[in-house]
Amino acid sequence: MSFNTFGKAFRFTTWGESHGPAIGCVIDGCPPLIQLNEADIQKELNKRKPGQSKFTTQRKESDKVQILSGVFEGKTTGTPISLIIYNEDMRSKDYNDIKDKFRPGHADFTYFKKYGIRDYRGGGRSSARETASRVAAGAVAKKVLENKLGKKFKISGAVTQLGILGCDTKNWDDKIIYKNPFFCPDKSMLKIWEKYLLSIRKAGSSCGAIIEVRANGVPAGLGAPIYSKLDSDIASAMMSINAVKGVNIGSGINSAQLSGEENSDEISQNNKKTKFKSNNAGGILGGISSGQEIIVSFAVKPTSSILKSRKTINKFGKNTSISVKGRHDPCVGIRAVPVGEAMLSCVLLDHYLLNKAQCG
Amino acid sequence: MSFNTFGKAFRFTTWGESHGPAIGCVIDGCPPLIQLNEADIQKELNKRKPGQSKFTTQRKESDKVQILSGVFEGKTTGTPISLIIYNEDMRSKDYNDIKDKFRPGHADFTYFKKYGIRDYRGGGRSSARETASRVAAGAVAKKVLENKLGKKFKISGAVTQLGILGCDTKNWDDKIIYKNPFFCPDKSMLKIWEKYLLSIRKAGSSCGAIIEVRANGVPAGLGAPIYSKLDSDIASAMMSINAVKGVNIGSGINSAQLSGEENSDEISQNNKKTKFKSNNAGGILGGISSGQEIIVSFAVKPTSSILKSRKTINKFGKNTSISVKGRHDPCVGIRAVPVGEAMLSCVLLDHYLLNKAQCG
Amino acid sequence: MSFNTFGKAFRFTTWGESHGPAIGCVIDGCPPLIQLNEADIQKELNKRKPGQSKFTTQRKESDKVQILSGVFEGKTTGTPISLIIYNEDMRSKDYNDIKDKFRPGHADFTYFKKYGIRDYRGGGRSSARETASRVAAGAVAKKVLENKLGKKFKISGAVTQLGILGCDTKNWDDKIIYKNPFFCPDKSMLKIWEKYLLSIRKAGSSCGAIIEVRANGVPAGLGAPIYSKLDSDIASAMMSINAVKGVNIGSGINSAQLSGEENSDEISQNNKKTKFKSNNAGGILGGISSGQEIIVSFAVKPTSSILKSRKTINKFGKNTSISVKGRHDPCVGIRAVPVGEAMLSCVLLDHYLLNKAQCG
Amino acid sequence: MSFNTFGKAFRFTTWGESHGPAIGCVIDGCPPLIQLNEADIQKELNKRKPGQSKFTTQRKESDKVQILSGVFEGKTTGTPISLIIYNEDMRSKDYNDIKDKFRPGHADFTYFKKYGIRDYRGGGRSSARETASRVAAGAVAKKVLENKLGKKFKISGAVTQLGILGCDTKNWDDKIIYKNPFFCPDKSMLKIWEKYLLSIRKAGSSCGAIIEVRANGVPAGLGAPIYSKLDSDIASAMMSINAVKGVNIGSGINSAQLSGEENSDEISQNNKKTKFKSNNAGGILGGISSGQEIIVSFAVKPTSSILKSRKTINKFGKNTSISVKGRHDPCVGIRAVPVGEAMLSCVLLDHYLLNKAQCG
């Protein structure tokens, strides 16, 4: 029963609303003696920061993080790490339009049904702004994993499908991802995607995306039977990200179409190294990591707030309609890339620590 | 840190190995005063029972369940319900072939890497036999939900894609699902699927499947921000089922390809009833149920144990190969249907009870 | 595995060190629609605030709390409530004396043994300053309980034994408790206790205390078999307070000396009201509340930091000695009164909400 | 929210009623590769087994335990260990007397108030029979601790006060404890206690007891700030045992009466060994073990079921009275000794494993 907490051994609790004074998180279970400072976290937050291109939200936030506890003389102490980011761009904008109306595709209707009250300003708690806290927690997790697993450990995420346009993941180039506004890993698609997304933006519409995240250097043996499987926890992590509607491990949904022969990832041994012929399993067998690359992908639905008018009701049960005024965010999925990286980092560290307890 | 426990308010812990003396589960958090007997549970177990057709495993188990605690004079008492199923078909078969070899696609390699020991008989703990315990727990959850939500509540699952062959879910007919060996909901596909699966079986190969589970009569307001979202918990539940590699809510992975207009499920009010124009959201917005039908689907990879020889290694690090002798199970996905129903029932009851605590 | 979180349905996570920039807590699971403002919390914090008399610590803190999330237009929204208190009196004092030495009776030695690092400034995380966060969380719990249980609900705590001096709890007077520096409920002892504590203070020594906390208006039925018993959770809550070494429910340790006849709290019915002849059970039977007054007491050991020199070792394994310079706190137990009230409030609300989930 | 589960990393869930077909537990989180067989568990169960002397309950149970899962070829596998004990002495005795009446001092009234239903046969779930499951779990924990900590690790419990009669714990002799019917550690008191308890039994009355449990060979560093402190978890564990009303760590309640000088357990170093002058802390400082002996004591109230008639009400709200027929158990506290040992073993193993996760 931890509604706003993620994780078992490495746990973080996020708090805060889109237009409240601040957002933040408390990390509990971070091992001691890890070097950590605000720059380590800021670096990751800057990837997710809004207002960096015309293809994402225009909100202006510096997203400057402060460490309030748990770090002493530059090292973690094993006590809770409290992180805070003050909100800046909370314009005294006119919320009358959404105050009483339920935006289709958003959580307005369901929050109101559940709690009988909702902070309607910018989506309140259900805003994607909450994901900044996850990215901060993920930055800490990454730092610990790099310390524990060494240089071979690496996490890398990208948009591999923008609306109806895919890309060739064989062209995956880590170096270009955060240097293009689509977080696309395939240089050959940049122009095509740009033209496509511009047309969607001009039309006042939006599109979804598929994000893929990969982790290398993860040792075999992380995970747990049966209800804390590594893939089960990853699925939970990714599905908890705003607007995510589907999660795949390895070949994922496409596994259904493979034959037993194609799917089974034959194993061989060469000079004390175990090799797998393929990686349909996405690095996880029976809920436990095999030492192969962990491959996860997830689908983000198109931005629900668009310029076109949509039919809806208000909280008094009257039929009405709603549309976004001014500029909008044509693809919320893009900024989910660093969030996916952060969540995978957190799950992996969680299982790294859990494994210590499990195997005694 | 509950490796073999699922749920928060309605919790079940499963135990047992494929070829140990018994398997079972303990349910904690079942509300009192619900009428419950062994027949209620047996009914669901019989759907999953092995050996019912030539298209599934040939193991013979009566899967007879006994209630050992928590029920008094025909009613639940609020104390733990312990359920036990004694294993019967544990043939003193020759396990020498898999004793030291890691079957590709199975958990053999990863369990050994993690624990340094594994019960290799029939997959031990990682066998799909464990799912009988889930079905038993799900039967109890279903009974409670029917009591609390009334007749409008209904769960229904089916195979909607068998290998490369889909079906038309518009033809969904609850009445035929458990009367055909493919648990297919679309009568028009039965012959085609039969021919297809026979050919796969003859070839000594296997295929995957997509299972869809739907719940009707679920009230709005179940779920929780942020890390116990209804969809996040469903994803975790489904991904914990053996051989599942992908999970979708509503339009799922396909959401990425929809436009914002298509995707947003417009809302209207008519005679005090809220209606949604479509259900891409699968009945969940912001992690909370909207009152629409809950729609979940998941992909099961093809059976890893096939007649064809596969390359692998043994626990001494030597290259070798392995193949199944005799008859095999051409599509493990089929019997995942009652398991998916059970897991969805458990998640929904869990959130029904959690909601009571959350809203006080 | 929640090292810094307390509770199941109503959960709070505290963070912060004695001499870090701030301390605080995040409350998760607070029901929606409860009126709450900073003054509600400040009122309780002021009871615990340091520097209010010569008999407690001389640290100067205004302990001003800010609500950063979870409250909208004066009401709780069901989302996490983040509370922060900035530290003020963090004098750039000379910590050289305790930097490398382990103060006997404190957590210095054990934190260092566990983590290999410790924030030695004022005890860091192990400082009683952490209890301010608990009092803040308890204030929220109290507000919710008053809303849910009405005016009959009341929590009241006091020091019932100061060192070797008891008091007569039959003279318990709520109105005087927070008006005397010993939080004593028995007016007749004030002078005697003052003389006693002055002499201890002058001697540079310290004494322990017993705190009793009572809750009235708690309905029957709160609690849970077997490992979330109401008394088991209360024991855990109180034992988690700094320097507490013993916890009693009702007659507590003295129960061992009662006869079966004396102890059994006979029951009778009069005009639809259930009455108990006595309350040795402290309002709890089989881990579940009976509707009687809940009575809890706990012992706080004497302040470990005293003016007299104590033998100890430093982190290099050398024998040395330590003593406090300047003024000291002759009885840390006194300020544990509002902390005990807060913890009991939190446990009671937790079980109030859990009961909703348990009984469906 | 785990009502019938204890522990975080080493978790056990108990189930079963006094007069149902069986009782048992499922252990989750036991490390792999530990040698374990039924005799290891039976040895501990035999200490608690009823019907061994005229001073305890006359129920006849062989308490024969079976391991149903989690052990393969004599070793634990890291998967859940399911233990079952079939009930034998469920005489078709006449329960009419307690069917509708609430026995004072028992959980009858509160279970009925909470759940609206109760299994009245022998106390149902609230019977002390549940503690057999704990002793079984504790036997497994002990086996693991002996494996991990080696021969220096040892747990030992005894009755140190029987009603109004104490004993001299300086005379503590492990060898005599389970060889006398009072589980008394002090040979000099055996005759005196026998005479005292015989007189209580003849009078149809009962008495309480204080149990002390000690653990040696526990390394420094086990525990966690702030809400999973080692002492906080021990208090929760002991208070969850039937009829326990008070828990002390080290000097416990008596700490209140010590001076700061007496209480602070001075530290010294001698040949690389840390020594403490005294052990008022009971081996725990700031919630973390110091490496000293862990000392815990708890009070068990007198048996509530006595031969003397007690006033009570029935479930229809009528005044009535109740008394036990035939022989009774004059001191339920005695058989709590192996239960206390078991619970301390479980808490220590839990924290041993948690520490692995915490410190990474």
Q: Is B150 on the interface with C (CB under 8 A)?
A: no
Residues of A in contact with C82 (CB under 8 A): 15-16, 22, 24
pLDDT digits (tens, 9 = 90+) for B270-296: 988 999 999 999 999 999 999 999 999
- Confidence category of residue D315, pLDDT binned at 50, 70, 90: very high
Q: Using the 8-state DSSP alphabet, how is residue B293 labeled?
A: P
Q: Is A127 on the interface with B (CB under 8 A)?
A: no
Which chains have at least 3 CB atom pairs separated by less than 8 Å from chain A? B, C, D
Region D58-84: mean pLDDT is 94
Q: Is A24 on the interface with B (CB under 8 A)?
A: no
Question: Do B111 and A229 count as a contact with CB atoms less than 8 A apart?
Answer: no
d(CA A269, CA A258): 25
pLDDT digits (tens, 9 = 90+) for B194-247: 999 999 999 999 999 999 999 999 999 999 889 999 999 999 999 999 999 999
pLDDT, chain B, mean: 95
- Confidence category of residue B93, pLDDT binned at 50, 70, 90: low
Pairing of the two strands B165-166 and B209-216: unpaired
pLDDT digits (tens, 9 = 90+) for B115-133: 999 999 989 999 999 999 9
Q: Is D78 on the interface with A (CB under 8 A)?
A: yes
Question: Do A359 and D31 count as a contact with CB atoms less than 8 A apart?
Answer: yes
Question: Do D229 and C239 count as a contact with CB atoms less than 8 A apart?
Answer: yes
Per-residue confidence (pLDDT) for residue B182, from 0 to 100: 97
pLDDT digits (tens, 9 = 90+) for D151-206: 899 999 999 999 999 999 999 999 999 999 999 999 999 999 999 999 999 999 99
User: Which residue, B145, B144, B142, is CA-closest to B33?
Assistant: B144
pLDDT, chain D, mean: 95
Q: Is C31 on the interface with B (CB under 8 A)?
A: yes
Instruction: Give every residue of chain C whose pLDDT is below 70, as ranges.
Output: 1, 58, 91-94
Shortest CB distance from A4 goes to which of B130, B222, B225? B225
Instruction: Enumerate residues 6+ apart whose C-beta is below 8 A from D211.
Output: D157, D158, D159, D160, D297, D298, D300, D333, D336, D337, D340
Per-residue confidence (pLDDT) for residue C93, from 0 to 100: 66
Exposed/middle/buried for A360, CB within 10 Å: 0-12, 13-18, 19+? Answer: buried
- The pLDDT of residue B105 is above 70: yes
Question: Do D114 and C220 count as a contact with CB atoms less than 8 A apart?
Answer: yes
Query: Of B302 and D54, which is predicted with more confidence?
Result: B302
Q: Are A298 and A242 in contact (CB under 8 A)?
A: no
Amino acid occupying residue B30: C
Question: Do B80 and D16 count as a contact with CB atoms less than 8 A apart?
Answer: yes
* Shortest Cα–Cα distance, C228 to chain D (Å): 5
Q: Is D221 on the interface with A (CB under 8 A)?
A: no
* Shortest Cα–Cα distance, A65 to chain C (Å): 14
> Which tokens is C215 given?
């809750």
Residues of C in contact with A16 (CB under 8 A): 68-69, 80, 82
Pairing of the two strands C267-270 and C273-276: antiparallel
d(CA D5, CA C225): 10
pLDDT digits (tens, 9 = 90+) for D234-249: 999 999 999 999 999 9
Per-residue confidence (pLDDT) for residue C92, from 0 to 100: 55
Q: Is B3 on the interface with A (CB under 8 A)?
A: yes
Residues of B in contact with A317 (CB under 8 A): 269, 272, 274
Report whether the peptide linkage leading into residue A226 is cis, meaning its omega lies within 30 degrees of zero. Answer: yes
Shortest CB distance from D110 goes to which of C259, C269, C286? C286
* Shortest Cα–Cα distance, A303 to chain B (Å): 6
Question: Do C357 and B359 count as a contact with CB atoms less than 8 A apart?
Answer: no
pLDDT > 90 fraction of chain D, expressed in percent and rounded: 88
Measured between alpha carbons, how far is residue B112 from residues A221, A243, B287, C10, D79 in Å? 8, 38, 37, 40, 12
> Which tokens is A261 given?
């022969």
Which chains have at least 3 CB atom pairs separated by less than 8 Å from chain C? A, B, D
Per-residue confidence (pLDDT) for residue D325, from 0 to 100: 80
- The pLDDT of residue B92 is above 70: no
Collapsed DSSP state (helix, strand, coil) of residue D68:
coil
pLDDT along chain A (360 residues), means of 10: 92 97 98 98 92 75 94 98 92 75 96 96 94 98 98 97 98 97 97 97 96 98 94 98 98 97 95 95 98 98 94 95 85 97 98 96
Amino acid occupying residue A63: D
Q: Phi, psi (5° rounding) for residue C215?
A: -125, 125
